[in-house]
A and B are shown apart, each in its own frame.
Chain A
Amino acid sequence: MTSVSSSGEFHHQHHFKSAEHQYASSKQGIWLFLCTEILMFGGLFVGYLIYHSLYPTVFKNGSETLDWKMGAVNTIVLLVSSFTMAAAINYVQRGLHKIAAIMLVITIACAGAFMVIKYFEYSHKFHVGTVPGKFSLVDPSCGAGGKRADCESKISALLKNPAELEKNHVSAEEVSRLKAVISQPKWEMFYGFYFVMTGLHGVHVVAGALLIFWVFIKTLNRKVGPEYYTPVEGVGLFWHVVDLVWIYLFPLLYLVG
């Protein structure tokens, strides 16, 4: 295998005039793709804003049950990862493969940390029952029959049972917040958005981590370097967009309310 170290020669594909030509084209392609990603999340943001204005109290109460501290930690984790990703690109461009590889590993570790924290957030919601539509009911057949008013939500069942509350680490303060949530009709709506938005974002985090792993291997094998770093830069841009989406999701879901 030909290596692309600083002395090596990078061969561009036959239909491009030069390596620069190929690089410029790839970059344009990546940016166009990122536009489509932003537009896709844009649809969700539009939906969120519409329902926020329709059910302001539902969104406020729901937002207060999210753990802003966990969200904030995750924001910091992603900001750090954006920094290490940018650093990795820079090191690859300068031919410093070893430190670039370390930076990529840290970035992947951040992605992992982010998902672990998300896992704790999600699982707590599953326990207390702040979940979207279908699963917020005690009796799953309840939703299908259309008589939702007769069904009791998992939260209200939980709130009546002090032993369960303790088992699920629900503090007195959280109890009052949960009570506020179910005092409103259509409260599941907030969690519908919460899970769809963070879920889709989570899928992007995982995809991003896999892509970073791919360029990490390329870096180790010296397939990228000062003459050719398009994959690293492309994946880096993708990762920044994933971070950027979170930068909007965090205040919208956890803080604005």
Chain B
Amino acid sequence: MSSAHTKTEHGHTDHNYLNHGSGIWSWMTTLDHKRIGLMYFATVATLFLIGGFFALGIRLHLAKFGAEPLLDPDTYNKFMTFHGAIMVFMVIIPGIPAFLGNFVLPIQLGAKDVAFPRLNLASYYVFIAGALIAASSMVFNQVDTGWTFYTPYSTSKTSNGVILLVLGAFTMGFSSILTGLNFIVTTHKLRAPGMTMDRIPLMIWALYSTSIIQILATPILAITLLLIGAEKTLGVGIFDPDLGGDPVLFQHFFWFYSHPAVYIMILPAMGVISELITAFSKKTIFGYRAIAYSSVAIAAVSFLVWGHHMFVSGQSTLAGILFSLITMFVGVPTAIKLFNWISTMYRGTVTFDAPMLFALGFMFLFTIGGLTGVFLASTGMDVHFHDTYFVVAHFHYVMVGGTLMALMGGIFYWFPKMFGKMTSDLGGRISWVLIFTGFNVTFFPQFVLGAMGMPRRYFDYLPEYTNLNQISTIGSWLIGLGFLVGLITIIHGILKGEKASDNPWGAKTLEWQTSSPPPHENFTTTPTVTAGPYDFR
């Protein structure tokens, strides 16, 4: 693999993408995928803070520390809806692909940019527009349906704010489709010479599989959301039983998107983890092909399992059994990845820098989330666990323990490349310890609560659930504190961090072969690739 960069010996500033054009306008109109990635970072981080505010509100309410409840039932439902909708549609779905993916994908491929830079910028603004439309529902007409918008409640019982939220999600879906399309074409058409499909880094395989899901599943969400809009404005009745419609059809449509969407969240995270594990084990990844193809396999199977959300919706027994069986299949490619990561670490030279801690955190938490998923996939058990806190714990272990851990790890890993500076490793580790402990303190009790029968989405609960709820709330403050430390570490790194070398981790993929931060067009001369992506010897 050729090292493309030649260093400037003299002290004066290198020309890089951060100082290539200055002023806010040069950022707002940039076509550079790296800058667009950072713009997503700022946006998603802001939205994450808002979503987190609602989370802490929910938790504080449920702790019942005071004599008076903190929120009234109506406000509680709205908090829960905004928390869920913001976190899903605006944080974890765009988080890794649109931010880290945008930054990393073209450089890892040895390309100057994504295939359609203008479309890339457009999809950023489409995302902003969608987020604003959705947020306007907070101002004009709050929504209390939960992020799942289940009919007929959403279509004939509650406020018209649903139209705004649904329209916002529709618009953000457009952005998601355009980003996925851009990534697929970039991967197909813009690989550097010698970068064959079996030499692309595993992060790219993950983003590629994610893009396929984005393109195939999001249109179904789009039509479903449009139908909710049509239902509320025209009363077309397709989902409204009063008019002859079928609310279960809504659930089919919704989960036909939203289950694959879970993999839009987790596949890129797995891509990040593959990069981290090999970089911090100083070892060629074990089972490159197995990990690559298992991403595609997960993408394919993800379309066939949506019915596991509907075991208690009056599905036929046969359908239930089939969905249960296929759901279990997803475990196979997932386990393949996990075992390959562990084999990579085995006899590697493992170092525990902050990014690696997040990677290990991912593996631990995602395993718990995944295993409890198998419980939920068993039809009999699901009848007991359905819509209890067990489910809440399960999806937080997967989405937060999985996706957010990977996102944090990815931020700390690629930070030197993004800003040309190092973050404080101590800051990163403290952040990790707080998030990891806080996370388990928050969500492990929820498994117990769920098994004891505490239903999700309820404003109040029986006295016997009090202690565990209070523990859970204390954990949520730890998580909040952990993210605060993380944020401070990142801001401190941007402002005062030590200068980073081009390849501080000694990693092998192409992005580390160019300068930190990279020049405007990523490489001064197009790299030629002569070996696989993780050629540690």
Q: Is the CB of B235 within 8 A of A133?
A: yes
Q: Residues on A close to B: CB < 8 A?
A: 13-16, 21, 24-26, 28-29, 32-33, 35-37, 39-44, 47, 50-51, 54-55, 132-135, 143, 146, 148, 185-186, 188-189, 191-193, 195-196, 199-200
- For B219, give its contact among A16, A21, A43, A185 (CB under 8 Å): A43
Give Cα distance in the complex from A35 to B220, angstroms: 12
Docked Cα-Cα span, A133 to B234, in Å, equals: 7
Contact present for A44 and B244 (CB under 8 Å): no
Q: Which of B366-394 contact A (CB under 8 A)?
A: none
Are B237 and A29 within 8 A (Cβ)? no
Q: A36-B218, A43-B253, A189-B243 are in contact. Are A29 and B190 (CB under 8 A)?
A: no
Residue in contact with A39 in the complex, picked from B220, B226, B237, CB distance below 8 Å: B220
Give Cα A200 to B236, complex, Å.
Answer: 14
Contact (Cβ within 8 A) A47 B185: no
Cα A133 to Cα B189 with chains together (Å): 48
- B31 CB to closest chain A CB (Å) equals 9
Bound together, the chains give a CA A79 to CA B150 distance in angstroms of 40
Chain B residues within 8 Å of A24, by CB: 189
Asked if B216 and A192 make an inter-chain contact with CB atoms under 8 angstroms apart, the answer reads no
Residues of B within 8 A of A143 (CB): 235
Which of A29, A44, A55, A186 touches B115 (beta carbons < 8 Å)? A29
Q: Of A21, A189, A199, which contacts B245 at CB under 8 A?
A: A189
In this complex, what residue of A is CB-closest to B178? Answer: A33
Given contacts A21-B189, A36-B215, A43-B219, contact A29 B181 (CB under 8 A): yes
Complex contact B238–A47 (CB within 8 A): yes
Q: Is B189 within 8 A of A134, CB to CB?
A: no
Which of B116, B185, B215, B227 contacts A196, CB < 8 Å? B227
CA distance A185 to B240 in the complex (A): 14
B-side residues, CB < 8 A to A, are 111-113, 115-117, 119, 177, 181-182, 184-185, 188-190, 215-216, 218-220, 222-224, 226-227, 230, 234-238, 240, 242-246, 249, 253, 521
**Which B residues lie within 8 Å of A54 (CB)?**
246
User: Can you list 22 pairs linking A and B with CB atoms under 8 Å apart?
Assistant: A14-B112, A15-B521, A24-B189, A29-B115, A32-B185, A35-B215, A35-B216, A36-B215, A36-B219, A37-B219, A39-B219, A40-B223, A43-B223, A50-B249, A133-B237, A134-B235, A148-B243, A188-B244, A189-B243, A189-B244, A193-B236, A199-B230
Minimum CB–CB distance for B364 against chain A, Å: 37
- Are A135 and B189 in contact, with the CB atoms below 8 A? no
Residues of chain B contacted by A25 (CB below 8 angstroms): 115-116, 185, 188-190
Contact partner, A133, options B119, B218, B236, B253, Cβ 8 Å: B236
Given A188-B237, A193-B238, A200-B226, output 11 extra A-B contacts at Cβ < 8 Å: A15-B113, A15-B190, A25-B115, A29-B119, A29-B181, A33-B181, A43-B220, A43-B253, A47-B238, A133-B243, A188-B244
Assembled-state Cα–Cα distance A129/B285 (Å)? 66
Q: How far is the CA of A205 from the CA of B249 in the complex (A)?
A: 28
Residues of the B chain whose Cβ atoms lie less than 8 Å from the Cβ of A50 = 246, 249
Residues of A near B190 (CB, < 8 A) are 15-16, 25
Contacts A40-B219, A132-B236, A192-B238 given; does A29 touch B243 at CB 8 Å: no
Rounded to whole Å, the gap between the CB of A230 and the closest CB of chain B is 11
Q: Which residue of A lies closest to B119 (CB)?
A: A29
Contacts of B216 in A (CB 8 A): 35, 39
- Asked if residues B116 and A29 are in contact (CB atoms below 8 Å), the reply is yes
Q: How far is the CA of A36 from the CA of B220 in the complex (A)?
A: 9
Residues of chain A within 8 A of B111, CB atoms compared: 15
Residue ID in chain A nearest B229 by CB atoms: A196
Q: Are B238 and A51 in contact (CB under 8 A)?
A: yes
Nearest B residue to A189 by beta-carbon distance?
B244
Give the residues in chain B near A47, CB-CB below 8 Å: 227, 238, 249, 253
Complexed CA–CA distance, A192 and B236 (Å)? 4
**CB within 8 A of A192: which of B119, B224, B237, B242?**
B237
Closest to A191 in B: B236
Q: How far is the CB of B114 from chain A (nearest CB, A)?
A: 8
Nearest residue (CB) in B for A186 is B244
Is the pair A196, B219 in contact by a Cβ cutoff of 8 Å? Answer: no
Given A37, A42, A188, A193, which contacts B243 in the complex, CB threshold below 8 Å?
A188
Name the distance in Å between A191's Cβ and chain B's nearest Cβ.
8
User: Cβ of B234 and Cβ of A135 under 8 Å apart?
Assistant: yes
A133–B215 CB distance below 8 A: no
